[in-house]
């Protein structure tokens, strides 16, 4: 059995309605679960980017990305192992302010985990932590005994370590394409 | 049909910049794309377009089918025969959902098709308006691309894109949904063909280093075997294929969808591989030292058990779709490009060669198959007519020159095995999806595409009844299609599997059938004949072929004939069973 690993897929595409649907169909059709998904505008004009985290085998991720690359509105797609990217997730926690005031434990946690307090009202206190899932998860476990009211973690955002820019990749793709009178 | 006798009033396209409605813009766009025929069915949400079409019906032929599925299959068949997109037009809701099978079929068989559906006015989208359905969502998995137009002025650009996407690279179906307000809306007419999309790279340039590697392997191979798939037909590489194999003396086998890409009477032709293919190409797949696959995707019906498929051979894969490379079978040299481009670059590097003994060895396998399977089926002496006799006779009487269309099942495999195609672009069948009901509407599409050629559609009694209403299309449009119904009173292919793998438990596969010739002749005024005796076969076939109009020949065939040889599902291609 091939080993299951965590992969981060980056997709650069046109910003068209329905593309997200077409992307997710490629995963669901192969019964591969999406762990997290973030979409945002890219810094090149009109380019949209998706960051998708999944746990699967390398041969499956290869098949999936080559299917994604086939989508008409997708410019380029890549997959990375965790050591090839710099990534973060953001987590927000809501605790009752009374719990914050009862002791200084929450404040100590906030400091120890490099989190920060975003807002304090008489009813609730909002805490933010940016980091990898394990870190935000650990803080979550620590905050649970303090009557945690709400918790949310974002999808992964990632930039890549390889230096080759998307622009160059696209140029190469274009140069490798034959546009001569076939149509 | 009185209304249609009225002469069309307008003929020419308006000048650029003229104000037109979205519906007119759609018709003009189709004319710009050289669309000769639309297969369609009207309804509320597409009525403005049909109204615009009415003025241009001498420029664009419209075939009124009897069910939207039929429109899709007819368009696919038209596309395959002509090598350009088939066009479909339907209304919203049920009109669009009835297309799904056809879209799925076109998707898996890489058929260029552009389908248009009407949609409720954009203001009503998402309100469960009358005949509203989420066409985008529903067709996404079965289209190469789809788009919803909500404004008239989007129409030309999107239509141009649709035709470009459907026909280039690996072809496929494109669905365009047009809201009714976009059809009524006004826009300034302009048109520009699409030649490039920034995120779409349909034709990879041929990589010469790969071509050189391939040439090297071909030049030194002692026992090469070439599999020609539909990609040869799509890229029109028949001539280059012929040059390659005659120069290097390579036996050629054609996949089900590749049939007719290479003439069956050529000395290097060795038949069809796969589950119900010929023994020689299957057995030799596991003996060759080089397997050259062109424009095919190593479907499981071809490969049988993968870890026992051509493991001894080097494999060269010519394929335009990069995602097919290594998907099922690992390759030594992959050439990701249009087949004709690649072969054109390859040819100058290929040396003359001679593999006499190797080529002869296929003959031995064929003789064996002929003795064990082919002849007994063709020259049956029992009371019952076998399917093979009928197909073989028609193949001989038409000299392999007809366009042949099939439905799905035993008869499909028997036709593929027995019809000896001598002309290219002559076979239309549902391969990847195996869609029963494909045959009759596909015969319609083929005849519309090539009125000058004989079109013969073979169907089983099961599949015939899935789209039997298209007899109405044939009658109304006076399409001289020849239909051969091989009636075994069973869902034959399923019954064969029940026989072989389910202890002969014939669970719901026997059919009580109507009198088909009565339906055709008395109902639709289509000439027909029913025969069940061998001595009537020849004259009936001759009568059908000589008849001027459409004709249904129903042949009662043996109830429980099994198609052999066979690679049972999951077995190795070298283990074909003959009974
Ligand atoms: C739409 C659809 N439903 C079911 C099947 C499964 N199926 C494959 S072959 C077959 C039997 C076809 O019977 P018939 O049309 O009589 O042709 P025969 O096999 O007897 O030549 C069936 C039911 C299918 N391929 N397509």
Q: Is the pLDDT of residue B4 over 60?
A: no
Atom of ligand 1 at shortest distance to CA of B491?
13
Separation CA B526–CA B550 (nearest Å) = 6
Give the CB-side neighbour count of residue B24, counting CA atoms within 13 A.
18
List the structure tokens of A82.
Answer: 């965790």
Q: Report residues of chain A scoring pLDDT below 70.
A: 181
B482-487/B551-556 β-pairing: parallel
Separation CA A182–CA B193 (nearest Å) = 13
Q: What is the three-class DSSP state of B153?
A: helix
Mean pLDDT over B157-177 rounds to: 98
Is it true that A5-85 and A86-157 share their CATH fold? yes
CB contact under 8 A, B140 and A25: yes
List the structure tokens of A106.
Answer: 């929450």
Are both B267 and B295 inside the same structural domain? yes
Q: What is the pLDDT of residues B17-56, one digit of tens each?
A: 999 999 999 999 999 999 999 999 999 999 999 999 999 9
Residue B131 lies in a domain: yes
Which CATH number is B305's domain given? 3.40.50.1220
Q: Could you list the residue range(s) of the whole structural domain that residue B215 is in?
A: 208-361
Are both B496 and B398 inside the same structural domain? yes
Question: Which DSSP letter does residue A150 get?
Answer: E
Are both B434 and B543 inside the same structural domain? yes
Which residue owns the Cα nearest ligand 1 atom 9? B409
Separation CA B425–CA B258 (nearest Å) = 9
Are both B450 and B511 inside the same structural domain? yes
CA distance A147 to chain B (A): 41
Other CB atoms within 10 A of residue B349 CB: 14
- The reported pLDDT for the residue numbered B2 is 45
Residue B369 lies in a domain: no
Atom of ligand 1 at shortest distance to CA of B463?
15
Q: What is the pLDDT of residues B68-81, one digit of tens each?
A: 999 999 999 999 99
Q: What is the three-class DSSP state of A51?
A: strand
Ramachandran region, residue B157 (left: φ > 0; alpha: ψ -120 to 50; beta: rest): alpha
| Domain count across chain B | 3
* Vertex B373: Cα angle to B367 and B374 (nearest 5): 70
- The reported pLDDT for the residue numbered B338 is 97
Q: What is the pLDDT of residues B181-198, one digit of tens each?
A: 999 999 999 999 999 999
Establish whether the linkage from the previous residue to B67 is cis, with ω within 30° of 0: no
- The reported pLDDT for the residue numbered B1 is 42
Q: What is the three-class DSSP state of A79?
A: strand
Separation CA B177–CA B405 (nearest Å) = 30
Other CB atoms within 10 A of residue B136 CB: 19
Residue B1 lies in a domain: no
Mean pLDDT over B287-313 rounds to: 97
Ligand 1 is surrounded, with C-beta below 6 A, by: B 407-411, 434-437, 460-463, 486, 488, 490-494
Separation CA B199–CA B434 (nearest Å) = 32
What percent of chain A is helix, strand and coil (3-state, nearest 5)? 35, 40, 25
Domain end point (choices B158, B188, B218): B188
Q: What is the pLDDT of residues B529-540, one digit of tens each?
A: 999 999 999 999
Are the C-beta atoms of residues B404 and B439 closer than 8 Å to each other?
A: no
Are both B490 and B410 inside the same structural domain? yes
Are both B179 and B223 inside the same structural domain? no
Model confidence at B8, pLDDT cuts 50, 70, 90, reads low
Q: How many beta-carbon pairs under 8 angstroms link A with B? A: 66
A85-96/A157-160 β-pairing: antiparallel
Mean pLDDT over B467-480 rounds to: 98
Q: Is the dihedral of CA B440, B446, B449, B455 positive or negative?
A: negative
List the structure tokens of A119.
Answer: 């807002």
A124-131/A85-96 β-pairing: antiparallel
Q: Does A18 touch chain B (CB under 8 A)?
A: yes
Other CB atoms within 10 A of residue A144 CB: 12
Question: Which DSSP letter does residue B572 get?
Answer: B
Are both B68 and B166 inside the same structural domain? yes
Average pLDDT, chain B: 96
CA distance B282 to chain A (A): 27
Separation CA B384–CA B534 (nearest Å) = 8
Residue B302 lies in a domain: yes
Place of tokens 């670059």: B345
The CATH fold assigned to A5-85 is Alpha-Beta Plaits (3.30.70)
Ligand 1 mean position, distance from CA A28 (Å): 29
- Rounded to 10 degrees, what is the CA torsion of B29, B6, B478, B66? 60
List the structure tokens of B520.
Answer: 């055709």
Are both B81 and B155 inside the same structural domain? yes
Phi first, then psi, for residue B303 (nearest 5°) are: -85, -25
Ligand 1 mean position, distance from CA B463 (Å): 6
Residues of B with active-site annotation: 68, 130-131, 180, 493
Model confidence at B5, pLDDT cuts 50, 70, 90, reads low
List the structure tokens of B555.
Answer: 């042949």
Which CATH number is B132's domain given? 3.40.50.970
- How is chain A split into domains, by residue range? 5-85, 86-157
| CATH superfamily label, A86-157 | ACT-like. Chain A, domain 2 (3.30.70.1150)
Q: How many residues does chain B have?
A: 579
Strand ranges inside B136-190, DSSP E: 145-149, 173-179, 186-188
Phi first, then psi, for residue B317 (nearest 5°) are: -120, 115
């Amino acid at each position: 059995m091939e080993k299951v690993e965590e992969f981060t897929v980056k997709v650069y595409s046109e910003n068209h309605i329905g593309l997200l649907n077409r992307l997710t169909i490629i995963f669901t059709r192969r019964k591969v679960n999406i762990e997290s998904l973030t979409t945002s505008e890219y810094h090149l004009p009109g380019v949209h980017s998706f960051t998708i985290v999944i746990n699967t085998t390398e041969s499956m991720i290869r098949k999936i990305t080559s299917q994604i690359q086939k989508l008409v509105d997708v410019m380029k797609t890549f997959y990375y192992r965790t050591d090839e990217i710099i990534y973060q997730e953001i987590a927000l926690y809501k605790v009752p302010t009374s719990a914050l005031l009862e002791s200084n434990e929450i404040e100590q946690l906030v400091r120890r985990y490099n989190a920060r307090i975003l807002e304090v009202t008489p009813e609730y206190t909002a805490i933010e932590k940016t980091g990898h899932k394990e870190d935000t998860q650990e803080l979550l476990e620590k905050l649970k005994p303090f009557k945690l009211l709400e918790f949310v973690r974002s999808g992964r955002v990632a930039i890549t370590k390889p230096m080759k820019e998307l622009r160059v990749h696209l140029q190469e793709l274009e140069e490798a394409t034959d546009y001569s009178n076939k149509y | 049909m009185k209304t249609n006798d009225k002469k069309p009033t307008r003929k020419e396209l308006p000048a650029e910049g003229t104000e037109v409605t979205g519906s007119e813009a759609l018709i003009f766009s189709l004319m710009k794309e050289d669309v000769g025929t639309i297969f369609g069915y009207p309804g509320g949400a597409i009525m403005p377009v049909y109204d615009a079409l009415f003025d241009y019906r001498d420029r664009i032929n419209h075939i009124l089918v009897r069910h939207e599925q039929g429109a899709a299959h007819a368009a696919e068949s038209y596309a395959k025969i002509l090598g350009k997109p088939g066009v479909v037009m339907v209304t919203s809701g049920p009109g669009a959902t009835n297309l799904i099978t056809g879209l799925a079929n076109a998707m898996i068989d890489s058929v260029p098709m552009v389908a248009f559906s009407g949609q409720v006015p954009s203001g009503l989208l998402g309100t469960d308006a009358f005949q509203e359905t989420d066409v985008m969502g529903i067709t996404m998995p079965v289209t190469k691309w789809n788009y919803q137009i909500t404004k008239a002025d989007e129409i030309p650009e999107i239509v141009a894109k649709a035709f470009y996407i459907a026909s280039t690279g690996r072809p496929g179906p494109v669905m365009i949904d047009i809201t009714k307000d976009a059809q009524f809306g006004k826009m300034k007419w302009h048109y520009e063909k699409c030649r490039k999309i920034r995120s779409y790279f349909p034709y990879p340039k041929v990589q010469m280093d790969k071509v050189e590697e391939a040439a090297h392997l071909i030049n030194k191979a002692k026992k090469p075997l070439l599999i020609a798939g539909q990609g040869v037909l799509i890229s029109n590489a028949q001539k280059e294929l012929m040059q390659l194999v005659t120069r290097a003396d390579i036996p050629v086998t054609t996949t089900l969808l590749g049939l007719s890409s290479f003439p069956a009477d050529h000395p290097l032709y060795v038949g069809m591989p796969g589950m119900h293919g010929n023994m020689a190409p299957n057995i030799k797949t596991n003996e060759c030292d080089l397997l050259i696959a062109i424009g095919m995707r190593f479907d499981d019906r071809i490969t049988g058990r993968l870890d026992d498929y051509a493991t001894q051979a080097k494999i060269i894969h010519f394929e335009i779709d990069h995602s097919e490379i290594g998907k099922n079978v690992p390759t030594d040299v992959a050439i990701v490009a249009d087949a004709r481009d690649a072969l054109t670059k390859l040819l100058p590097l290929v040396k003359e060669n001679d593999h006499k003994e190797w080529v002869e060895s296929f003959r031995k396998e064929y003789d064996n198959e002929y003795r064990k399977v082919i002849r007994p089926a063709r020259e049956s002496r029992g009371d019952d007519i076998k399917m093979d006799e009928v197909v073989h006779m028609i193949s001989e009487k038409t000299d392999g020159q007809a366009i042949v269309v099939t439905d799905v099942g035993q008869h499909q495999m028997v036709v593929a095995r027995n019809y000896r195609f001598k002309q290219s672009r002559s076979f239309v069948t549902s391969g990847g999806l195996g869609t029963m009901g494909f045959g009759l509407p596909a015969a319609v599409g083929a005849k519309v595409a090539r009125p000058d050629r004989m079109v013969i559609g073979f169907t089983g009694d099961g599949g015939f009844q899935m789209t039997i209403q298209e007899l109405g299309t044939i009658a109304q449009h006076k399409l001289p299609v020849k239909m051969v119904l091989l009636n075994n009173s069973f869902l034959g292919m399923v019954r064969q599997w029940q026989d072989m793998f389910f202890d002969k438990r014939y669970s719901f596969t026997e059919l009580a059938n109507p009198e088909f010739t009565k339906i055709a002749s008395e109902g639709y005024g289509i000439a027909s004949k029913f025969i069940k005796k061998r001595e009537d076969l020849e004259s009936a076939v001759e009568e059908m072929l000589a008849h001027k109009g459409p004709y249904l020949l129903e042949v009662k065939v043996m109830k429980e004939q099994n198609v052999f040889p066979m690679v049972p599902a999951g077995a190795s291609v070298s283990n074909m069973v003959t009974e």
